[in-house]
Amino acid sequence: MITKESIENLSQRVDIVDIISQYIEVRKQGSSYVCICPFHNDKNPSMHINSQKGFYHCFACKAGGDVFKFIMDYEKLDFSDAVEKVARLCNFTLSYTQEKKEKNSNLKYILPRLNAFYKQNLSQHRTALEYLYQRGLNDEDIKKFELGFAPQSHQTLRLLQNEKIPFDEALKVGAIKEDKENNEFYASFINRITFPIYDHKAFLVGFGGRTLDANHMAKYVNSPQSALFDKGRIFYAFHLAKESISKKKEMIVCEGYMDAIAFHKAGSNNAVAVLGTALGENHLPLIKRYEAKVILCFDNDEAGLNAAMRSAFLLSIHKIDGKVVLLEGGKDPAELVLNHQEKILFERLERGIELGEFYIRMLLKEPLNSALQKQKALENVQKYTHLLEPLIANSYVGLVSRLLGVNENLIKLTKNTSSQKNSFDSHSNLTASRTKIHIAEFGLLDFLKKSLKARELFMQISDTACFEHRELLSKILQGLGNEDSDIREFELYDIKSLKNQNEFLLGIIKVNLAFLNRVKIQNPSLALKKQLFTLFDKNSFKFLKILKTEESTEFLKQILITLKQEKDEEKLELIFKYFYKIFQKSSLDKADLKWDKNETEQENPF
């Protein structure tokens, strides 16, 4: 792995504007830079880049972060790959731990070498080539998808020995398997056409294999689960489809390797295939990363229907849009393309059924002859729709009404409509509160963000309730940084920084006073605190004039801590009378301000 020190050094060296400008046109605007945001359909420059602080932020879609986050989102990479990409762009040499070096020198080498061996073998195996040609593939397709042929087991084992690849290493990446009873190894793929499987980073992680033996029970097999290969996370041909998926915001998911290849031959380069299973939860992060609408294109048989139903359920409850296409007549995409029926294929794609509608229709496909059957069927539908957002669930009321043959008024597909109203109301209130910007508080918030000591002191001297920007204040007190969209927006404001801690403490007095001026006061102790805040606010110039900076700081801290903690009305009144008398003097003395709360309580100065 990349060393932490190396990442920190790269972060300090890199100019985020230089990196982003290699992807998007950037122009200077005032003290920052702006560009069209690539993460939503932006027409006006909504993204701001702060070169000094090293982050970007879009005011429209709230995308933002540091230079690594930009590359992660734009290139669809994980963190370590994004760091390596940034390093290449700015000619920076990264340092790795020994573990990374060893992994690079061993595991990553094995499968590419095996793939080269399989590809070379295909040209020597006429039966395999003829099969591929009969399926409508040509030499260009074979080259693009790197198809090969795995020969007898001993030939693969001999290759590994010749390449000095230890069998235990080959076992880790699924190139071979172990027969523990006989204490021997054998190849994972024997006499099969091979389909190399890459992950989304274009790293070879495994293979699929197709037998040419019509009597073989397992027509297709995949690499075994390994340190590199997890079929529940990977799509076949994704590395070839991801650019098209990113542009179209749409991906076609089909059942097999040949179907995916057929779609690419027909011009649909956004097609991928699942690896012998329906979609699983581990596929979802990759789909969401590309914000892709999913078209499920499965065979119209029992296995295809079951896979489509499971996949439609999973996608829809996770807020992923899409539709289901079931190919009729026993023909799959590969057969349609082979017979030059691409037009029929695309027409069926256009007529696909929306995910939720498909799932509900499948739930209600059996005849419902009695009221009890309809009630039970409705309850099954509700188990599904209760997992959806209320607005989406309610959109199916008409469909369910028609399929059950009952009045729409009898169909309730959400758990609690009143809770939805409350959530809308709370969202509206939150949005409204964010539209008001209280610049007077921003200096204090800026000081708090920069000073850990100030954050630690804050809860002793004030309360978050006194601030208009309470949510932002809470995030600053938690120590959140530019990974948070509110913090990034705050950083982009042109804020006049406070000079020292005295300005910060006096600002706290003003904020507390402003809060007490806004609220209706019924508590006598609060009324006294309001008078005290007013007194110190108006007379601050007097004690600042005679006290040294450090003395003023300690004096203000003591005052604010007392006013935060003290609730006794009599004691507050004594404090007010004491300082009211002091500030009436034509000239103050330091001794007057050497105030002790306990002494004031014991000796009434009046």
SS3 letters across 285-309: HHHHHCCCEEEEEEECCHHHHHHHH
Domain architecture of the chain: domains with CATH: 4-90 (3.90.580.10), 102-222 (3.90.980.10), 235-350 (3.40.1360.10), 366-410 (no CATH), 435-592 (no CATH)
Residue 465 and residue 473 in contact, taking contact as beta carbons nearer than 8 Å: no
Residue 480, Cβ density class (10 Å: 0-12 exposed, 13-18 middle, ≥19 buried): middle
- Is the pLDDT at 438 greater than 80? The verdict is no
Question: pLDDT above 90 covers what percent of the chain?
Answer: 61
The reported pLDDT for the residue numbered 118 is: 97
Residue 489 and residue 59 in contact, taking contact as beta carbons nearer than 8 Å: yes
For residue 394, give every residue at least 6 positions away whose Cβ sits within 8 Å of its Cβ, in sequence order, or none.
413, 414
Greater model confidence, 588 or 561: 561
- Is the pLDDT at 459 greater than 80? The verdict is yes
What's the CA angle centered on 239, arms 22 and 91, to 5 degrees?
Answer: 35
CA count, 13 A, side-chain hemisphere, 254: 25
Each residue of 34-55: pLDDT tens digit?
999 999 888 889 999 998 889 9
CA distance 63 to 393: 28
Considering only CA atoms, which of 270, 271, 351, 358 is closest in space to residue 311? 358
Considering only CA atoms, which of 327, 319, 404, 326 is closest in space to residue 356? 319
Residue 467 and residue 436 in contact, taking contact as beta carbons nearer than 8 Å: no
Q: How far is CA 253 from CA 257, 267, 497, in A?
A: 11, 15, 54
Say how far residue 264 (Cα) sits from the centre of its chain.
29
Length of the chain: 606
Question: What is the three-state SS of 210-254?
Answer: EECCCCCCCCEEECCCCCCCCCCCCCECHHHHHHHHHHHCEEEEE
Confidence of residue 25 (pLDDT cuts 50, 70, 90): confident
- Is the pLDDT at 322 greater than 90? The verdict is yes
CA distance 200 to 75: 11
Residue 193 and residue 213 in contact, taking contact as beta carbons nearer than 8 Å: no
Amino acid letter, 335:
E
Residue 39, Cβ density class (10 Å: 0-12 exposed, 13-18 middle, ≥19 buried): middle
Each residue of 276-308: pLDDT tens digit?
767 888 888 788 878 899 999 998 888 889 999
Helices (H) and strands (E) in the chain, counts: 32, 16
Question: Does pTM top 0.95 for this prediction?
Answer: no
Confidence of residue 598 (pLDDT cuts 50, 70, 90): low
> Alpha-carbon dihedral of residues 219, 222, 224, 225, nearest 10 degrees?
-140
Kindly report which listed range (26-30, 67-71, 134-138, 529-533) carries the lowest average pLDDT score. 26-30
Each residue of 518-540: pLDDT tens digit?
888 888 999 999 999 999 999 99
CA distance 8 to 13: 9
The reported pLDDT for the residue numbered 416 is: 64
The reported pLDDT for the residue numbered 595 is: 63
- Is the pLDDT at 247 greater than 70? The verdict is yes
Greater model confidence, 15 or 278: 15
Three-state DSSP class for residue 544: helix
Six token digits for residue 28: 């200077």
Map tokens 């007898």 to a residue.
Answer: 152
Six token digits for residue 438: 């209280």
Residue 459 and residue 557 in contact, taking contact as beta carbons nearer than 8 Å: no
The reported pLDDT for the residue numbered 214 is: 82
Q: How many of the other CB atoms lie within 10 Å of CB of 363?
A: 18
Question: What is the three-state SS of 162-205?
Answer: HCCCCHHHHHHCCCEEEECCCCEEEECCCCEEEEEEECCCCCEE
DSSP label at 59?
Answer: T
CA distance 210 to 225: 18
Residue 475 and residue 484 in contact, taking contact as beta carbons nearer than 8 Å: yes
The reported pLDDT for the residue numbered 171 is: 92
The reported pLDDT for the residue numbered 106 is: 60
Confidence of residue 311 (pLDDT cuts 50, 70, 90): very high
Q: Strand 32-35 relative to strand 26-29: parallel, antiparallel, unpaired?
A: antiparallel
Six token digits for residue 408: 């729409």
Considering only CA atoms, which of 74, 67, 72, 25 is closest in space to residue 50? 67
Burial 423-441, CB ≥16 within 10 A → b, else e: eeeeeeeeeeeeeeeeeeb
DSSP label at 54?
Answer: T
Residue 32 and residue 48 in contact, taking contact as beta carbons nearer than 8 Å: yes
The reported pLDDT for the residue numbered 429 is: 38
- Is the pLDDT at 109 greater than 50? The verdict is yes
What's the CA angle centered on 186, arms 185 and 189, to 5 degrees?
Answer: 150
pLDDT mean over 551-563: 93
Kindly report which listed range (83-97, 253-267, 384-398, 542-556) carries the lowest average pLDDT score. 83-97
Six token digits for residue 95: 């340092």
CA distance 296 to 324: 5
Termini Cα distance of the chain: 72
Residue 221 and residue 189 in contact, taking contact as beta carbons nearer than 8 Å: yes
The radius of gyration of the chain from alpha carbons, rounded to an integer in Å, stands at 34
Residue 208 and residue 275 in contact, taking contact as beta carbons nearer than 8 Å: yes
